């Protein structure tokens, strides 16, 4: 065989091998990927989600890594784990306030309650504002900054004493 012909044939074979091989590897990589969804549920009601992409061949290792999480859903290409976190969320630690809306509902806010861009994270119960001292009422109007779980729990317990009690009425 001619040396030029052999070189061309070798180059063509190598190119074909590289092209077909890379296509097969890409297809296998796509087929073997799976998504892990991690849900963290905090005491303030906030749920954070984290998405991780892994090769499905690491499935057994993944179960071991998240053995302290609750398995919520499992499919071929996706697994959902959930964990309750005994703390307030990073969102609340960063910019959380407890306050009261215009109807007297005690709520947790992202940001100061009187700001227009403020978002309600969680609402609790209606307050009997007539039972409250004026400075407690004013503090709630302005918003009370929350940065720890202890503050969160203490404030909820304190303001629970001012919740309006609803009584059921009997008909008949």
The pTM (predicted TM-score) of the whole model is: 0.65
At the topology level of CATH, where does 90-160 sit?
Alpha-Beta Plaits (3.30.70)
Nearest to 149 by CA among 102, 98, 104: 98
The residue count for the chain: 172
pLDDT tens column, 32-70: 788 889 999 999 888 999 998 887 777 778 888 888 999
* Domain range summary for the chain, segments of one domain joined by +: 32-86, 90-160
- The pLDDT-based confidence of 152 (bands split at 50, 70, 90) is very high
Q: Is the dihedral of CA 100, 105, 108, 109 positive or negative?
A: negative
* Percentage above 70 pLDDT, the chain: 76
Q: In what order do the strands lie in the sheet with 119-126?
A: 119-126, 105-110, 96-100, 144-146
Q: In the prediction, which pLDDT does 170 show?
A: 38
Which architecture, in CATH terms, is 32-86? Roll (3.10)
């Amino acid at each position: 065989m001619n040396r030029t012909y052999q070189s061309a044939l070798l180059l063509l074979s190598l190119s074909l091998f590289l092209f077909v091989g890379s296509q097969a590897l890409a297809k296998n990589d796509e087929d073997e990927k799976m998504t892990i969804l991690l849900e963290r549920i905090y005491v303030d009601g906030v749920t954070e989600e984290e998405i991780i992409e892994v090769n499905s061949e690491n499935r057994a290792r993944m179960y071991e890594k998240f053995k302290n999480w609750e398995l919520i859903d499992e499919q071929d290409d996706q697994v959902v784990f959930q964990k309750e976190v005994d703390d307030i969320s990073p969102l609340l630690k960063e910019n959380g306030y407890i306050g009261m809306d215009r109807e007297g509902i005690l709520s947790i806010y992202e940001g100061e309650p009187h700001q227009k861009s403020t978002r309600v994270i969680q609402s609790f119960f209606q307050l009997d504002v007539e039972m409250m001292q004026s400075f407690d009422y004013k503090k709630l109007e302005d918003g009370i900054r929350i940065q720890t779980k202890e503050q969160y729990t203490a404030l909820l317990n304190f303001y629970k004493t001012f919740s309006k009690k609803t009584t059921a009425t009997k008909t008949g």
